[in-house]
Structure 1
Amino acid sequence: MSTRQHAILTAILAAAAPLAAMASERFLGMAPCALCLWQRWPYWVAVALALLAATLRSRALLALAGLAVLASAAIAGLHLGVEQGWWPSPLPSCAAPGAGAAMSVDELMRSLAPRPDKPCDAAAYLIHGLPVSMAAMNLAYALGLGALALAWARRPTHAA
């Protein structure tokens, strides 16, 4: 395969991850937390870089797309650690809503978001009975896709 073909495949596979996450929200009713949402951004950066790599037939841009995917893996690793209780989340929006400094029930009700946020330490499981969270699945997927894109970027260019 050529650099262009590898870049197009990388773009498709990078777009698949956040689209699958969005589908799980819409069709399966899974609520994302703040770290879940953060994991999606590097994929969109990877899609843009991979499409640019395909247009310019640039292995360097394909490598950058692979590194962008690995950034999602890093966020997924952080998220997995939060889920497992290994460390606290660095994002204040990851905490479960609480009473905070509210003095009354009315103040508490006014301080709540219109749609409650899911705490980042509450793992979301896509496959019932499989003890692998969405963050863990993203970690594995991103590590694999990132490594694959970097390997493709190192290959000599073929005509196509």
Structure 2
Amino acid sequence: MPQSLTLARLLALVLPLALLAGAWASQLFGGLYPCEMCHWQRWPHYAALAPALLAFALPGRAAKRAMVTLAALLIAVSGAIGVFHAGVEYHWWQGITACTAPAPRGGDLLADILSRPMIRCDVAQWTLGGVSLAGFNAIFSLTGATAILVLAWKRHRA
């Protein structure tokens, strides 16, 4: 088996594991609780683990490449959601969930406050160099997915 496919299989497994570990660590130890869109970004990474593991278990180069490709596409989906979420946080566009909606005006103020989400999707809880966690997920996921696809489909001289 080509070394590049072996590396692609390893990256397809390690990348979602590392990003999920970082998300869970920031939640459990850093006190950063995920909003609805943060959870959306996690699901494709969870899903990517199954084909990434199958890429190690299935026989044959074609089956391994297919599973690695599927894992890379799922990782890219998480990255695309990260781009959308970061755009909502930076107020480049409106979010599509209730966690980005402003509280209604008028009526019972306490009920309005209590009806708002605890963790808002349009406010970054943490940034580094102006990049939010959603932004970092977008960067790492899209870059990683691209690297996995390039490695998996690299042509080798016979």
- Which stretch of structure 1 is more off in the superposition, 143-152 or 3-12? 3-12
Task: Tell me how far apart the structure 2 counterparts of residues 110 and 30 of structure 1 sit (CA, whole Å).
Answer: 21
Aligned match of 1:143: 142
Aligned match of 1:7: 9
Aligned match of 2:126: 125
Displacement of 1:138 in angstroms is: 0.8
Secondary structure of 1:63's counterpart equals: helix
Task: Tell me how far apart the structure 2 counterparts of residues 56 and 120 of structure 1 sit (CA, whole Å).
Answer: 39
| TM-score of the aligned structures, taking structure 1 as reference length | 0.80
Displacement of 1:6 in angstroms is: 3.0
Contact 1:8–1:51 (8 Å) recurs in 2: no
Q: CA distance change for structure 1 residues 153 and 2 in 2, over 3 Å: closer, same or farther?
A: closer
1:29 aligns with 2:31: yes
Contact 1:35–1:94 (8 Å) recurs in 2: no
Query: 1:112-160, CA deviations, whole angstroms, 9 ceiling, x for partnerless residues?
Result: 48xx531111013254xx2111111111101111011111220358xxx
Q: Quick one: which amino acid aligns to residue 56 of structure 2?
A: A
Unaligned runs of 5+ in 1: none
Q: Quick one: which amino acid aligns to residue 51 of structure 2?
A: L
Identity of aligned residues (%): 33
Aligned match of 1:155: 154
Matches within 5 A, 1:20-59: 20-57=22-59, 58-59=64-65
Task: Tell me how far apart the structure 2 counterparts of residues 148 and 74 of structure 1 sit (CA, whole Å).
Answer: 16
Task: Tell me how far apart the structure 2 counterparts of residues 80 and 21 of structure 1 sit (CA, whole Å).
Answer: 15
The alignment of Structure 1 onto Structure 2 pairs a total of residues equal to: 150
| TM-score of the aligned structures, taking structure 2 as reference length | 0.81
1:60 aligns with 2:66: yes
Contact 2:99–2:122 (8 Å) recurs in 1: no
Unaligned runs of 5+ in 2: none
Secondary structure of 1:123's counterpart equals: coil
Task: Tell me how far apart the structure 1 counterparts of residues 65 and 40 of structure 2 sit (CA, whole Å).
Answer: 26
Task: Tell me how far apart the structure 2 counterparts of residues 95 and 82 of structure 1 sit (CA, whole Å).
Answer: 11
